[in-house]
Amino acid sequence: MINFFNNKYYKIFLFRYVCNTIMENNTINILVIFGATGDLANRKIYPALNEISKSDKLPENFKIIGCGRKELKENIFSKLQSNLASNCDYIKLDPMIEDDYKLLSKKLNDYKNISITLNVIFYLSTPPRAYKPIIDNLIKNKLNIEESGYRRIIIEKPFGKNLESARKLNNILTSGFKENQIFRIDHYLGKETVQNILVSRFTNLIFNALWSKDFISYIEITAAESIGIKGRGEYYDNSGAVRDMFQNHLLELLCLVSMEEPNQNSSESIRNEKIKVLNNIRKINFKDDMIRGQYMASETKSKKFKSYTENEGVNKNSKTETFFACKLFIDNERWKDIPFFIRTGKRLPTKVTEIVVNFKKNINVFSPNNETNMLIFRLQPDEGMLVKFNLKSPSYKSGIINKNLEFHYKNLGEDVIDDAYETLILDVFQGNTMLFSRSDFVEKAWEIVDPIINEIDKNNIKLYGYKAGTWGPTKCNDLFRNENTWRYPCKNLVNDGEICEL
Ligand code: BG6
């Protein structure tokens, strides 16, 4: 028996039907993913597209063209929901080979011929060495030209490996795309809890009125990870914590917690204020205000960790830092001489990202020990906010106890927090650049980081060892040079202390 659905006439009928439907709606939206067989596409992009589709927020007539160097042996789109998977095409395309782009060009032209508006997003989810050839070839083939709908380009981190390479990349990008067509991903900006920082700061008078050197004594930013480098040895060994986390995620967080109120709730206004913060960062004192560390092997009763240098792809004599901490100052009216302590590291006791705002001592007749307040933005996990405040101890006439006012996002319901990639991809569909890094931010951030990297390369900044599973080199506490110290956060928001559940 003839299978009707495989029948040639049925296929022609189906193609015409699809084309007619599209013609009626006039618009086709295409996401071209370079690196479609890669790890990022699998772990982040496809799951995010599924979620966007579930919430019915995909643009109409949405299609995916995956590009990759490999000949396909299996269905790489099997992770996608069936409604998406049935709208996918794959093109075998080597980013370095100019001729391969003709196939992509042809495919896009075919769609152009059956639509009035053709919107195309190019997602560069490849290793960074492929960025330049891809952008060059898109421009050569005029695939950047917005003649019948928008053309947008998403580019993943790392954006360059120093100021010079970031500038070059920006120049190549801007030779073919305008700034509002370019979406440089820093996935931290897509996190719900990160977006909340500005809203909570500026909409709560009880915070906003106290947000300055007059009431705040110091601010800590911690991005701790318990994992090691998980099969990314080669990349990480050429990068290290300064390039991998500090140049991007941590400087973005610093800007959000310290910037002035923007004139408008708009992409440009917010990005303008962030740049002002970066411009005002005082040159960091390499000798006293910076700590680098690398994790060493360690063993507890239940766990055994190998050292960083035992990882595949890592040089056995590597001096790359897996931990970085520094103290920095922002030289402006609001923050004059208030220290910001920043730390990040792999193989620390737990995975936590948080910002801790430590208020000044409040000297008064009721408070013999000058108890202080603390406000914590817990970005992940156990996302929420915590205020530590004082009250009279009911058991003693004049005693004071410090208690918690806490909010957990999970109390708002299950799944209230979208994955960062879901938010970011949706924003690209909508052309909203607010949660992406502007070219000047990326370059300014490298301008801050370049001198640090130069000092590291000249062996001028010591590298301390720390046991895997601990809070980094003990030297790290010396950054404070007074009685203060880091908060040692636990997995759950309210607990802290050097000994936590792991
Ligand atoms: C990436 C870094 O940008 O951020 C990784 O390259 C790091 O090394 C990751 O593990 C951390 O992201 P998150 O969202 O897990 O905090």
The pair of three-digit structure tokens given for residue 305, joined into one six-digit string? 């960790």
DSSP state of 94: -
Q: Where are the alpha helices (DSSP H) in 175-250?
A: 192-203, 205-208, 233-237, 240-241
In the chain, where the domains are located: 4-156, 189-417+438-479
The pair of three-digit structure tokens given for residue 82, joined into one six-digit string? 């069936």
Question: What are the residues whose beta carbons fall under 8 Å from the beta carbon of 200, sequence distance 6 or more?
Answer: 207, 377, 385
pLDDT along the chain (502 residues), means of 10: 53 52 74 95 95 94 95 88 93 94 95 92 96 97 93 96 97 97 97 97 98 98 94 94 98 98 96 98 95 95 90 97 98 97 96 97 81 94 96 83 95 92 97 96 98 95 95 95 91 82 55
Q: Which of 152, 249, 271, 438 is catalytic?
A: 249
Q: 194: CA distance to ligand 1 center in Å?
A: 14
Ligand 1 pocket test, candidate residues 40, 225, 323, most atoms within 8 A of CB: 225
Which atom of ligand 1 is closest in space to residue 229's alpha carbon? 8
Q: 316: CA distance to ligand 1 center in Å?
A: 24
Ligand 1 pocket test, candidate residues 125, 185, 186, 188, most atoms within 8 A of CB: 188
Nearest protein Cα to ligand 1, atom 15:
225
CA distance 347 to 305: 9
CATH of 189-417+438-479, one of 3.50.50.60, 3.90.226.10, 3.30.360.10, 3.30.465.10: 3.30.360.10
**Residues forming a β-bridge with 407:** 385
β-pair type (340-345, 216-224): parallel
Ligand 1 pocket test, candidate residues 245, 250, 347, most atoms within 8 A of CB: 245
Task: Give yes or no for a contact between 322 and 466, defined as CB atoms under 8 angstroms apart.
Answer: no
CA distances from 193 to 151, 157, 198, 200, 209 (A): 30, 20, 10, 10, 21
Q: What is the pLDDT of residue 158?
A: 93
- b/e per residue 416-435 (b: at least 16 CB within 10 A): ebbbbbbbbbbbbbeebbeb
Which atom of ligand 1 is closest in space to residue 157's alpha carbon? 3
CA distance 327 to 339: 6
Angular region, 61: left φ>0, alpha ψ -120 to 50, beta rest: left
Q: 230: CA distance to ligand 1 center in Å?
A: 11
Confirm whether 187 is a catalytic residue: no
Angular region, 481: left φ>0, alpha ψ -120 to 50, beta rest: left
Task: Give yes or no for a contact between 480 and 330, defined as CB atoms under 8 angstroms apart.
Answer: no
What is the 3-state secondary structure of 294-360?
Answer: EEECEECCCCEECCHHHCCCCCCCCCCCCEEEEEECECCCCCCCCCEEEEEECCCCCCEEEEEEEEC
**The model's pTM:** 0.93
- b/e per residue 444-473 (b: at least 16 CB within 10 A): bbbebbeebbeebeeeebebbebbbbbbbb
How is 386-405 classified by DSSP, letter by letter? Answer: EEEEEEE-TTSSS-EEEEEE
Task: Report residues whose beta carbon is within 6 angstroms of any ligand 1 atom.
Answer: 157, 225, 244, 353
Dihedral of alpha carbons 274, 278, 279, 281, sign: positive
Nearest protein Cα to ligand 1, atom 8:
244
Q: What is the pLDDT of residue 381?
A: 94
CA distance 394 to 91: 71
CA distance 124 to 130: 8
442-456: pLDDT as tens digits = 999 999 999 999 999
Task: Give yes or no for a contact between 52 and 29, defined as CB atoms under 8 angstroms apart.
Answer: no
Q: 123: CA distance to ligand 1 center in Å?
A: 19
- b/e per residue 149-158 (b: at least 16 CB within 10 A): bbbbbbbbbb
How is 129-194 classified by DSSP, letter by letter? Answer: GGHHHHHHHHHHTTTT--SSS-EEEEEPSP--SSHHHHHHHHHHHHTTS-GGGEEE--GGGGSHHH
The burial of 265, by beta-carbon neighbours within 10 Å (0-12 exposed, 13-18 middle, 19 or more buried), is given as: exposed
CA distance 332 to 281: 9
Q: 344: CA distance to ligand 1 center in Å?
A: 10
Task: Give yes or no for a contact between 134 and 104, defined as CB atoms under 8 angstroms apart.
Answer: no
- Nearest 5°: phi and psi at 259? -70, 160
Question: What are the residues whose beta carbons fall under 8 Å from the beta carbon of 8, sequence distance 6 or more?
Answer: none
CA distance 165 to 180: 21
Which atom of ligand 1 is closest in space to residue 420's alpha carbon? 14
Does domain 4-156 fall under CATH 3.40.50.720? My reply is yes
